[in-house]
Structure 1
Amino acid sequence: MTLPRLLVLTDRTQCAGPLPHAVAAAIEAGARAVVLREKDLPAAARAELAAALSALLTPVAGTLLVAGSASIYASAAGVHLAAGDPFPSVRPPLVGRSCHDAREVAAAEGCDYVTVSPVFPTPSKPGYGPPLGPAGLATLTRTGPPAFALGGVCPADVAACRAAGAYGVAVMGGVMRDPHSVAEYLSALHNTVEDQP
């Protein structure tokens, strides 16, 4: 596993300004892995965004992943698949998948990591059933690829997510609204890594 324990997912609708500015601030605060979502944009616009974010991450040896299976841009290190997306016919260096239940985690065989959501209540993940909570998260981290806890995760929740077996946490809204909160997530993650073997 080459990814850091904090995974930042983009959502330009929650940013105070342009998405690259928010990502730049998150990187300045310590973020080193970003998933470019924005799947509603045309391919050319997403490719342009991917190139811009890659240019921000490259100087800090960061990692850019692109959500969706249709296009894997040259500037990205890999792809983040939706639960039902087919596995890429040509495997990129990193492959992740969004999961919401045990069946989807089991189907993620061959992936480098999964996100498991929603762990806590969040307006960003409607329609995926009730929040899993730490206990539900724990049932989905026992098998399968390393898991990032996603959905309503605040810095204060990091320890519970790690105790439930999560490799790390994935954050969208919290970081998009306040990129400087990355430092709080990293501090909480650092404490759990020190506490656990």
Structure 2
Amino acid sequence: MPSLGRLHLVTDTRPGRDPLTVLRAVLPVAHAELVVQVRVEDTATDRQAYDLARRVVELCAPYGVTCLVNDRLHVALAAGAAGGHVGADDLPVAAARRVLGPTAVLGATAREPGAAVAAVDAGASYLGVGPCHATTTKDGLPPAIGVGGVQAVARAVNVPVVAIGGVTAQDVPALRAAGAYGVAVVGALSSAADPARAAAEFLRGLGC
């Protein structure tokens, strides 16, 4: 199975954002601990998702960076990504594992220990846990679970737990102390004036 870095960059495809420019800036700095998750707006077509995923896979390949696709597992397979990530309203984890096969990376979203254990039992390689804090990068999210919620999940499972949702570089030491393996970020990098510098700050907090 491909390696799982501690800093997960989720592509920001909201209007006015350029995820490939952000990725190009971050790759040279963070590649040793980077995972890139391709996430597109719900209104994006499969072709648009595929085109972005292919570009991301191509950019990541020289650095050996793992690339995943959120939700659209057929796009992950078509684009040659290392795996995918499913949320609560996507395919069930067991079904997603059948689609991707036994060796792919499969992430699943969880926010409490019971669901986390079930996702791991069904075949999740790692868990995206949150939202840790309030965030504006995705609509319709449930209430934030905080560091304590992340800790509860981390204590319940034996796979990497990646905290997501409004995470800043300043939050990372507390999240690591709570048992988080890593963090996933969207706006903290896509909105940064200097994404490479922002990524370096996250890496320092992660102890990388």
Query: TM-score band (shorter)?
Result: 0.7 to 0.9
- Residue correspondence of structure 1 range 82-161 to structure 2 within 5 A: 82-84=87-89, 85-86=91-92, 87-88=95-96, 89-90=98-99, 91=101, 93-109=104-120, 110-144=123-157, 145-161=159-175
Query: Which residue matches 2:54?
Result: 51
Query: Which residue matches 2:71?
Result: 68
When structure 1 is superposed on structure 2, of 81-90 and 145-154 the one drifting more is: 81-90
Query: Which residue matches 1:3?
Result: 4
Sort the Cα spacing of 1:65 and 1:184 in 2 relative to 1 into closer, same or farther, 3 A: same
- For the pair 1:27 / 2:3, whether they are aligned, the reply is no
The letter of the residue matching 1:157 is: D
Return the alpha-carbon distance in structure 2 between the equivalents of residues 55 and 83 of structure 1.
29
- Alpha-carbon distance, 1:125 to partner: 4.7
Return the alpha-carbon distance in structure 2 between the equivalents of residues 177 and 108 of structure 1.
32
- Alpha-carbon distance, 1:28 to partner: 2.8
Q: Is the 8 A contact 2:57 2:79 kept in 1?
A: no
TM-score by length of 2: 0.83
Query: Which blocks of at least 5 consecutive residues in structure 2 are unaligned?
Result: none
Question: What's the secondary structure of 1:121's corresponding residue?
Answer: coil
Return the alpha-carbon distance in structure 2 between the equivalents of residues 14 and 160 of structure 1.
32
The letter of the residue matching 1:123 is: T
Query: Which blocks of at least 5 consecutive residues in structure 1 are unaligned?
Result: 192-197
Q: Is the 8 A contact 2:13 2:41 kept in 1?
A: no
Query: Which residue matches 1:194?
Result: none
Sort the Cα spacing of 1:127 and 1:12 in 2 relative to 1 into closer, same or farther, 3 A: closer
Return the alpha-carbon distance in structure 1 between the equivalents of residues 4 and 68 of structure 2.
11
When structure 1 is superposed on structure 2, of 50-59 and 89-98 the one drifting more is: 89-98
Sort the Cα spacing of 1:128 and 1:93 in 2 relative to 1 into closer, same or farther, 3 A: same
Question: What's the secondary structure of 2:20's corresponding residue?
Answer: helix
Query: Which residue matches 1:77?
Result: 82
Return the alpha-carbon distance in structure 1 between the equivalents of residues 19 and 140 of structure 2.
25
Q: Is the 8 A contact 1:15 1:177 kept in 2?
A: no
The letter of the residue matching 1:35 is: Q
The count of aligned residue pairs is 190
Structure 1 runs of 4+ off > 3 angstroms? 125-129
Return the alpha-carbon distance in structure 2 between the equivalents of residues 81 and 22 of structure 1.
23
The letter of the residue matching 1:100 is: R
Return the alpha-carbon distance in structure 2 between the equivalents of residues 14 and 184 of structure 1.
26
- Alpha-carbon distance, 1:104 to partner: 2.5
- Alpha-carbon distance, 1:69 to partner: 4.5
Equivalent pairs: percent with the same residue? 33
Q: Deviations over 1:158-185 (max 9, x none)?
A: 0100111111111111111122211110
